[in-house]
Amino acid sequence: MKTPRISVLATALLLAACGNADTNAGTNAGDATNEAAAPAAAAGTPAKTTANTGAFTAWKDPPAAPAVPSPAFFSHEVATFDEPWAMAFLPDGRLLVTEKKGRLKLYDIAANRTSEIAGVPAVDYGGQGGLGDVALHPQFAENHRVYLSYAEAGEGDTRGAALARAKLDLDADGNGGRLSDLQVIWRQVPKVTGQGHYSHRILFDRDGKLWLASGERQKFTPAQDMRANLGKVLRLNDDGTAAADNPFADKGGVTAQIWSLGPRNILGMAFDAQGRLWEVEHGPRGGDELNRVERGSNYGWPVVSWGNHYDGRDIPDHDTRPEFNAPEAWWNPVIAPAGFIIYSGDLFPYFKGNGFIGGVGSNSLVRIQFDGDNAREVERYDMGARIREVEQGPDGAIWLLQDGDGARLLKLTPAG
């Protein structure tokens, strides 16, 4: 990982003077997230693998890991949802699933029963917007708090991501429930036009801090503007306030929320066993990235990228601007990442410590191997459909949500 050679704050404020472009021929109208879905693969069958087409940073082989069998897993269809975006397991093994149109579903795996949670905030549905991520508070067993991210309407034709927390009250019969005491604890600033690049991924760390990905909303330069929380990774307290020891806490306002800056559209975040945070994000035309998130670092969007604008205009490569933090791995052609875990279970001993990225454009599950700060793709499993979300279950199984209407919830189990 490169170390920034100039002040991140000085660079960001200088670049902010370039303005906050509202439209640009390089918007993501051609993003792989908007490609037509491929036919779904049959459930209960081993996944096929495809050749690695990514481009990666320098690599040193890590210590030998258990051999991965072939096939590595079987895929089983469990349920279906309409435009699901994220999921989170409750302590009792039931599953919360968000649907973009603004529905929060409760799925009882043992009973094969789906019900709905009432009290979800109104969402601005359209494009990439709607109900987004769901996460449980680290002390959920005591306080029953859940966190939801979503696209929220603003004045006129503007909108932005918001984060709410609420108490989850489940019905005694196990059939549904409701949210109570809902509070909006964070908002993207400023709200802007358009319906893309919200990001709004939520993650808690081992110390109870809340991490939030905030996309640059297809407006480019806000990612380098420290007066906006667009195009940033944010570190917050569980009530949405800025953590007191953040790198720019002394600046106050939304700047105090910022941990790092310069991502484009983060759609997956995960901590490794050492507590390091990694994120995956969409590039423009080419240049999807896997980054290790470091305190105060600037990842360079829209100044540098391994991709180019959709209209063909060049964007300088990362190696032309060493003051910006370059990705550990990148893809061209893109995989269109969505959903990301670093596996820590025992059900798949040969996957322990590996990352798994869902591919909405590549119709795949991408396996990542790590060696310290280095990372590379080592295998790509053809899932036959767009993969929107990846999650590890309580028993160590890997769970996937496909994208779109009638999307399947899949459980991956060892082939043996």
Q: Is 82 a domain residue? A: yes
What are the catalytic residues?
A: 197
SS3 content of the chain, % helix, strand, coil (to 5): 10, 40, 50
Residue 344 above 80 pLDDT? yes
Q: Is 3 a domain residue? A: no
- List the CATH number of the domain containing 206: 2.120.10.30
pLDDT at residue number 64: 65
How far is it, in rounded angstroms, from Cα 74 to Cα 112? 20
Q: Is 88 a domain residue? A: yes
Task: Give kind and range of the element (H or E) at residue 4.
Answer: none
Q: Is 229 a domain residue? A: yes
The parent domain of residue 157 ranges over: 8-414
Number of domains in the chain: 1
Instruction: Return the closest-CA partner of residue 403 out of 361, 367, 366.
Output: 361
For the chain, the residue count is 416
Residue 20 above 90 pLDDT? no
How far is it, in rounded angstroms, from Cα 178 to Cα 413? 32
Comparing 36-50, 113-127, 188-202, 213-227, the range with the smallest average pLDDT is: 36-50
Q: Is 102 a domain residue? A: yes
Decide: helix, strand or coil at residue 40: coil
Q: Is there a contact between 216 and 231 (Cβ–Cβ < 8 Å)?
A: yes
> pLDDT of 369-409, one tens digit each?
999 999 999 999 999 999 999 999 999 999 999 999 999 99
pLDDT at residue number 65: 72
Q: Is 1 a domain residue? A: no
Q: Is 162 a domain residue? A: yes
Q: Is there a contact between 73 and 412 (Cβ–Cβ < 8 Å)?
A: yes
> pLDDT of 26-82, one tens digit each?
344 445 443 333 333 333 434 433 333 444 444 455 566 789 999 999 999 999 999
pLDDT at residue number 330: 97
Q: Is 311 a domain residue? A: yes
Q: What mean pLDDT value characterizes the chain?
A: 88
Decide: helix, strand or coil at residue 183: strand
Instruction: Return the closest-CA partner of residue 45 out of 412, 401, 362, 347.
Output: 412
Between 227 and 3, where is the model more confident?
A: 227
* Confidence (pTM): 0.89
Within 10 A of 121 (CB to CB), how many other CB atoms are there?
Answer: 15
DSSP 308: B
pLDDT at residue number 4: 36
Residue 259 above 90 pLDDT? yes
CA 249 to each of CA 30, 118, 173, 215, 276: distance values in angstroms, whole numbers, following the listed order: 37, 37, 46, 20, 21
Instruction: Return the closest-CA partner of residue 325 out of 365, 281, 271, 355.
Output: 281
Q: Is there a contact between 235 and 158 (Cβ–Cβ < 8 Å)?
A: no
> pLDDT of 102-157, one tens digit each?
999 999 999 999 999 999 999 999 999 999 999 999 999 999 999 999 999 999 99
